[in-house]
Chains A and B, each alone.
Chain A
Amino acid sequence: MPHRKRSLLCVLAAATLVSGCFAGGQGEGTDRIQLGLAFPPVKAMSPFSDDAATATRMGTAETLVTLDAEGTPQPALAASWRESDPTTWRLRLRTGATFHDGTPVTAKQVVASLQQAKEATPTPRSLAETDIDFAAEGEHIVVVRTAEADPVLIQRLSSPELMILAERAYQDDPTAPNPVRAGTGPYVLTKVNGATSATLEAFDDYWGGKPATPGIDVRFLSEGDSRARALRAEELDIAQALPAGQLGSLDADQLVSVPLPRTVNLSLNQESPVFRDAELRAAARAAVADLDIAKTIYEGDADPPAGLFGPASSWAEKPGYPEAKAADPNGRRISLATYSDRAELPEAASAVAEALRKAGFQVSVEVKEYAALEPALLRGDYDAVIGARSYVLDTGDPIGWLASDLACDGGYNLARYCDAEVDGLIRNAAEISDPAERNAAAVDISEQILAADVLVPLAHEKTRFGLGEGVTGIAEDPFERQIITKDTAKQ
């Protein structure tokens, strides 16, 4: 009897081992590109989530317009556009564009796609707080009407959440469209394996011409170290967002750095018992002024602080600080928080905390995963917070960011800053329609913010792509919406 039981156990164990399912299934061929992306799909590739940008990065889905490095709209599925009156815009669609299932890109389907996005819950951020209406005019004209004049309406249409998909994408569940074989980009998304991998094939009928590579195999690797290792082991041809700590182990010619409109800031809580005092804020700023976080912790792969807006924005200029009187912190206690999701931030926190201690503060540091930290951040529980954040949200210019991060009723005002004059300036800037003037207004406002020591910039981030040998033609997009283009190839 014992023997029979034992053999039964053995059989069971063996069955477990053999039947274990491996998640294989990559495309065939050595000239396919292996792409390692940092963010696994969170909502089964539905565009009504961050997966929208994943779809545009893979080169499978497109929007009506895209933004160039300066934030100026460029034609994509829309070939041109004009303002009929301040609340009405007409976009002319590109002729000859087809969806991956062979159906033509018509004004009717474009409007249907945009309408689904407008009805998504929650409303895509680029459309939130706007009263917008889409209509088709014939085969090729899309009419966009807004209740009030919107100077950045066209820029809003570049948001990946407003991608244009074929009718089939909405058939199963219109609240979570499926971009498989439903996009318009150079590559057809044929398969998504959960949060593990995805397979794409070249779309020979692409309106921009035949893609240079037969197919793309996407692997989702959320650990930066994994992406760097896989690149070095030649398992990946393109690795997105390598962590600074891994750059030393890669050859310089394997790296492409793209400056991002993303600043690492130390926000000083204006309601904290300590930093309510402007002279103590000035003391904190003076304490961290000499920290070269960009060169040390970011290994030179970030830019040293030059105001709130960094070198990714050609319009940014480095403002000078006015003379500020600093008080002696005298051992005042402060709490400093940051999140561990980005490897560099906890190290920066150690360095900043030490600098503040040397200046005479007593500092306690709190490091948590972002999701666990956020409620406390928004409640204003900490005296100071180190965070990295993009200052161009959906419209390609920093006005939206100023409104959300620095206006009294801003949704992400970590510094709990509220100044009636600055609020008025932000409201006025939002009315400007000329992009250059909007940027100039933002720079003016940023000087006031800096002078008040609300945010102390520490570094301007870059994103780092690792490329295998002979890989060319990736998009260097500071908005991080594009990576694979029709020209991406591997020799």
Chain B
Amino acid sequence: MGLLSQGSPLSWEETQRHADHVRRHGILQFLHIYHAVKDRHKDVLKWGDEVEYMLVSFDHENKKVQLVLSGEEVLETLQEKGERTNPNHPTLWRPEYGSYMIEGTPGQPYGGTMSEFNTVEDNMRKRRQEATSLLGDNQAVCTITSFPRLGCPGFTLPEFRPRPVEGGASKSLFFPDEAINKHPRFSTLTRNIRHRRGEKVVINVPIFKDKNTPSPFIETFPEDDEAAKAAKPDHIYMDAMGFGMGNCCLQVTFQACSISEARYLYDQLATICPIVMALSAASPFYRGYVSDIDCRWGVISASVDDRTREERGLEPLKNNSYRISKSRYDSIDSYLSECGEKYNDLDLTIDREIYGHLLQEGIDHLLAQHVAHLFIRDPLTLFEEKIHLDDANESDHFENIQSTNWQTMRFKPPPPNSDIGWRVEFRPMEVQLTDFENSAYVVFVVLLTRVILSYKLDFLIPLSKVDENMKVAQKRDAVLRGRFYFRKDICKGGSAVVDGCGKAAGAEPAAEEYALMTIDTIINGKEGVFPGLIPILNSYLENMEVDVDTRCSILNYLKLIKKRASGELMTVARWMREFIAKHPDYKQDSVITDKINYSLLLKCNQIANELCECPELLGPAFRKVKYSGSKTDPSN
């Protein structure tokens, strides 16, 4: 989750004193990069996925499952045996927020040929095996988005009691600081967010009201004033960064051929974020309760919301400069391509001085306002040794602000003095249980970028509508029940250049450009209404040379997406809900006990390791189909 530096982290007060310094030099660093590489073009497609894992331990005797706080040691061994021994090692491992988490990526980025799509799942499987091989008995790596009993008593191994004291990082009633990664960046981030905000973070997730759920559902926290005030009735209350950043997700980054292609794809994919998020919904449970949401997004958003009361509009501005409408972790606030300009209908808070400076230096309005918007934020961590930098050859200050703006999309300038091009990161997806599903979502998104570029598609709608979609997408069963604003005519037809906007440029967007659609319509199409993303993907694939093995994999991937969209298959969230509803220990009271959690995670782990089938989630015996033909072990 961003930049890692070794060294001595500064306190919030000291960090704040350097905030303007970091911003000023961050901008200089960005300008150096921009001027050096703004004309880069003809970069090839390279892309990669990032999968986050949780380390879990099963206590079969007591029917309990816990998160193992050994991420740091596991990571050290993975890196030592992997990338540090062999620069061509097929996997790369990085730390994550939770001490029970690790992040894995392919060792080398994938390239632009079709057959690379057939190596993704194999690489993910390698990662799972590699990490699993280092674990103790009864331990496993799980790709689950949120651990159902995160923050419940004894949820970690070893167990720790939370100590809600001012000197700690989270000051949480539920989430012990020991569950945070031991690298100082993570606890410093946690503490500084809390200090900047002036109080603990507040996360209230609506509870799912089952037959026996108390109504109103009220939790009391007599020993904690902040909690007593912040907790809302009928909501699951959480009070720590770990409840958000301690979740896992699935991301894809790809290199565009030029800056303008990167800006075009950034915008186009921004509209796809809520759709794919709802399709990937996998996190219905929080702090031991069944919630009424299916996606983690809003939880993480609240878990790192460092805005002060003034910035949130609860008090008149006195010490702060702006009202800020969103958390640092939220959907994007402005489009970057020329075609996007007329759909930029959100009030954009920007740092005026930075904006002016960027314009002066020859940056165009759209990019300048994007950067000036990111830079309204303060740096959250700063290391004593890393204050004074060489702005022409380093980018830490720019990355400091950039990488703590956790938005649905990220526009990534090349690192200084590297041969990497302009990149775009797609960040809304929830991680799935199996390597097959994760590959399916990743391949779907990367194929979609190829289709957008080939057919010059245009999905843009006003950003305020994308934001409405984001809200709908997180609700329970949004994939089937939600209606999403989507552009009706997605074919720009004929405008040959990536950043040309066709004839309609400048005109006010007409209301009838978009309509409310179901995800089924958006993904699978509906006669006379919308062509559907999968039919367009298929048409693209028919024009590409694809070998039979790769085509078979892609066929199975798209079948999964198609059936999740139509409701023929369940999302992970829906499947988990039904699993616990049927559990003999469940009392229809929205409570997930240790035993229920144990059964659920055991089942998840069996599915992930292909020890049992799960047709309602993955389709009927899809493995058999896949392996009965020519598809053999890729190593032979």
Q: Do A and B bind each other?
A: no
Show the binding face of A for B, using Cβ within 8 Å.
Answer: none
Show the binding face of B for A, using Cβ within 8 Å.
Answer: none
